Amino acid sequence: MLGPVILAASRSDALRRTVSAAPVTKPVVDRFIAGESITETTPVVRAAADRGLEVTLDVLGEDVTDPAEALLARDAYLRLVDALAPLGLGPRAEMSVKLSSFGQALPGGHDLALKNATAVVEAAAAIGTTVTLDAEDHTTLDSTLAIHGELRERFPGTGAVVQSYLFRTEEDCRALAAAGSRVRLVKGAYKEPASVAYQDKAEVDRAYIRCLKILMAGTGYPMVGTHDPRIIAIAQDLASRAGRKIDAYEFQMLYGIRAAEQDRLAAEGHRVRVYIAYGTDWYGYFMRRLAERPANLAFFLRSLVTR
């Protein structure tokens, strides 16, 4: 029951200021965030590549409130592309983008987000890599999937994310499971109303498996975004039943979560991509990680009292 409370807190500006300023917060945040800058994050990318892992990089930021901020967010991604180029990892280092950081919620935001995303996707293509559009709250999904469709006309490798907690997602999976389409399936990390999303964890898990079946049976490239050991085993089984080779889908996990499992799957020959977030605007991302697992909250609270 704590999850929804923490997710509500993730939208509070007052709490954002308090938690962000607390001196004890940083070491706890560091478990999930690779660094505050590209310079701090590049060694983390190199270390992942040395472990045989692929990465997707997220410059932290969401829900910008004016077009100038959206441009700053776009420019941060363009600097990221410049930093990735000399690493020579090509598609092994891609990027994940939240369109709300590119101005999607502002007046005229759909076009603004499309314009900013196009600049980043073009720059990514120039160094041989791709961009995946993260899924945010359900009110943004139609716009995000439309932008995904528009970007795919010129850049077919642009990835989409679907959340199994939404009732609509099986249908979205059917529409997306087409040739050349990269689709990350996740359970979903936002607080959503019962009118659009399953509230019960078991139902979200069952929906995840139904969506996975659709993606694995399709002709696209499924990206299985989960740390759930049961679902990972089911994904392997569904992939082999669908006749997929081991490199015809991939697993994705978040930086700081189940690193040993990432290594185990990579050692078995699986493609494993780690989602690495960096930057200073970490509050929303961090709070969603706390909400996913109450034990993280206990860890966070303990760090406050044992100081």
Q: Which is nearer to ligand FDA, 85 or 168 (CB)?
A: 168
Catalytic hit among 184, 273, 288, 289: 184
User: What does DSSP say about strands 131-133 and 93-97: parallel, antiparallel, or unpaired?
Assistant: parallel
**Closer CB to ligand FDA, 66 or 272, in the complex:** 272
Phi, psi at 265, each rounded to 5°: -65, -40
Q: How far is the CB of 299 from ligand FDA (least distance, A)?
A: 9
The least distance separating ligand FDA from the CB of residue 194, rounded to whole angstroms, comes to 17
Asked if residues 212 and 185 have their Cβ atoms less than 8 Å apart, the reply is: yes
Q: Clarify whether 134 is annotated catalytic.
A: yes
For the record, the structure tokens of 136 come out as 């945010």
Residues with Cβ within 8 Å of 32's Cβ and at least 6 positions away in sequence, in order, are 254, 255, 256, 257, 277, 282, 285, 286, 289
Closest separation between CB of residue 163 and ligand FDA, Å? 5
263 is catalytic: no
Compare residues 9 and 85 and give the one whose CB is closer to ligand FDA: 9
Shortest distance, position 33 Cβ to ligand FDA, whole Å:
12
The site for ligand FDA (CB under 6 A) is made up of 134-135, 161, 163, 186-190, 225-228, 252-254, 257-258, 275, 289, 292-293, 296
Between CA 30 and CA 304 the distance in angstroms is 15
- Out of 134, 172, 205, 281, the active site residue is 134
Structure token digits, residue 14:
């007052």
d(CA 222, CA 219): 9
Give the relative orientation of helices 283-292 and 294-305 as an angle to the nearest 10 degrees: 110
Residue 24 C-beta: closest distance to ligand FDA, Å: 19
Whose Cβ is closer to ligand FDA: residue 10's or residue 116's? 10
Alpha-carbon dihedral angle through residues 83, 156, 96, 42, given to the nearest 10 degrees: -20
Of the pair 76, 286, the CB lying nearest ligand FDA is at 286
Helix, strand, or coil (residue 234): helix
Point out the residues that are catalytic: 134, 184
